[in-house]
Amino acid sequence: MEKPFILHMLTTAKNLSPFDVNMAMDAGWVSAIPYINVEASEVKDLVQDVIFSRSPKGLKNTGIFIGGRDTKQARDMLKTAKNSMFPPFQVSVFADPSGAFTTAAGMVACVEKELDEKFNTTLEGKTLLALGGTGPVGQAAAVLAAQAGANVRIIGRQLEKSQRIADLCNEEFGEGKINIQAGTDADKADYIKTADVVFATGAAGIELLTAEHIASATQLKVAADINAVPPSGIAGLDAFDNGKAIAGSQSGAVGLGALAIGNIKYKTQSQLLKQMIDSEAPVYLHFEHAFEVARQIVKSTK
**List of residues contacting other proteins (CB under 8 A):** 3-4, 6, 8, 30-31, 33-38, 42, 46-47, 49-50, 52-54, 58, 62
Nearest to other proteins of 1, 281 (CB atom): 1
Closer of 53 and 251 to other proteins (Cβ): 53
CB nearer other proteins, residue 49 or residue 175: 49
- Cα distance between the two ends of the chain: 41
Q: Judge whether 29 and 277 are in contact, CB under 8 Å.
A: yes
Minimum distance of other proteins from residue 95's CB (angstroms): 17
Residue 101 CB, nearest distance to other proteins (Å)? 23
Q: Specify the residue, 58 or 248, whose C-beta has the smaller distance to other proteins.
A: 58
**Considering only CA atoms, which of 180, 189, 185 is closest in space to residue 155?**
185
Residue 33 CB, nearest approach to other proteins (Å): 5
**Which of 231, 289, 237, 285 lies closest to 261, judged by CA?**
237
C-beta of 274: minimal distance to other proteins in Å? Answer: 19
CB distance 257 to 238 below 8 Å: yes
**Nearest approach, Cβ of residue 31 and other proteins (Å):** 5
Q: Do 140 and 254 contact (CB within 8 A), yes or no?
A: no
H or E segment at 188?
A: helix 188-191
Quick one: which of 137, 109, 110 has its CA closest to 201? 137
Q: Are strands 242-245 and 254-256 parallel, antiparallel or unpaired?
A: antiparallel
Rounded to whole angstroms, the Cα distance separating 302 from 291 reads 17
Name residue 89's amino acid.
F
Residue with Cβ nearer other proteins (30 or 40): 30
Nearest approach, Cβ of 36 to other proteins (angstroms)?
7
Distance CA 176, CA 170 (A): 5
Residue 14 or 302 with smaller CB distance to other proteins:
14
